[in-house]
Amino acid sequence: MKPYRPRTPSRRHMTVVGYSSLTAREPLKPLTRRLPARAGRNSQGRITMRHQGGGNKALYRAVDFRMNKAGVPARVEAIEYDPYRTAFIARLLYRDGERRYALASQGLAVGDVVAMGEEAPAKPGNRTSLQRIPVGAFVYNVELSPGRGGQIARSAGSSVQVLANEDGYTHLKMPSGEVRKVPWSGYASIGQVSNPEHKFVTIGKAGRSRWLGVRPTVRAKAMNPRDHKYGGGEGSTQRGTKRPKDKWGNITGGRRTRSKKKWSSKLIMKRRK
């Protein structure tokens, strides 16, 4: 982490992640594209996610979450910053000359060789099927369906633990404490996602949130009664409702929101606390 000298009130507690481990300043142009700015709106132009908009322009890096070039080793050319995710990414040069981006594991460095496939050794950064990964190991970028690409544990510093292999399924312990079954023919990368210090970042000032595309949030108790269930009253009053609700009156606290008919519920062995 990089702290700042308290030259201004906003700088006093502001921290950023140290980028000394990054080795490239510019992304590879063939692997980048410009995404349209939607600002939290759907295809009809209606806001479906509040408090989004603005922010610095950014190029999207086409990250390969499948890493399906089995038997073709790749050498790490560079470790780069990605504005669309919290983790760092690695630029891989495969033996056949192709270049791809992939999530960088913690400790991965330029010059390291990464292998994929059933014959890949169980070492950090390599990618193989779950049934070949030793019990107790930590993995990331895990496939829920074989061949679909990694969907679990892709953010900075995240990982899941392999608990057991049984009857065609691998038992995984999620960061939330939930234990669920995943088909063991699916692939996963061994290790932990890079940039684990991201959770310690202090934004420091409102302007920095605007750079990140986050718009201001108004407190519910500061609104009028017609705008929120907590609105109204004289001065700083209490909530006025027994159970916490959102602005539409839906109960948000102490209520399970997962559908009881969801097909994957049978794969959850232990719910999170």
Report the distance separating Cα 101 and Cα 77, nearest Å: 10
* DSSP state, residue 209: H
| Mean pLDDT for the chain overall | 92
CATH topology of domain 18-199: OB fold (Dihydrolipoamide Acetyltransferase, E2P) (2.40.50)
pLDDT for residue 49 is more than 90: yes
Give residue 66's identity as a one-letter amino acid code. Answer: R
- Work out the widest C-alpha separation in the chain, in whole angstroms: 70
pLDDT of residue 102: 95
Residue 173 predicted with pLDDT over 90: yes
pLDDT of residue 119: 87
Is-contact 145 131, C-beta < 8 A? no
Q: So what's the pLDDT on residue 251? A: 86
Q: Given pLDDT bands bounded at 50, 70 and 90, which one contains residue 100?
A: very high
In the chain, % of residues over pLDDT 70: 100
Q: How far apart are CA 136 and CA 125, in angstroms?
A: 16
Q: What is the pLDDT of residue 62?
A: 95
Decide if pLDDT at 24 tops 90.
no
Whether 51 shows a pLDDT value over 90: the answer reads yes
The pLDDT score that the predictor gives to residue 196 is: 93
Span 144-152, mean pLDDT?
92
Question: How many Cβ atoms sit within 10 Å of the Cβ of residue 24?
Answer: 14
* Per-residue pLDDT tens over the stretch 202-255: 999 999 999 999 999 999 999 999 999 999 988 888 888 888 998 898 888 878
Bridge partners of 32?
61
Residue 255, pLDDT score: 80
**Residues 118-127: what's their mean pLDDT?**
90
Q: What is the mean pLDDT of residues 118-124?
A: 88
Nearest CA-CA partner of 79 in 131, 133, 23:
23
Residue 265: both structure tokens together: 């519920």
Report the pLDDT value the prediction gives residue 170, as an integer from 0 to 100.
94
* Beta-carbon count within 10 A of 162 CB: 23
Check residues 253 and 17 and name the one with the higher pLDDT. 17
Task: Please give the pLDDT value at position 190.
Answer: 95
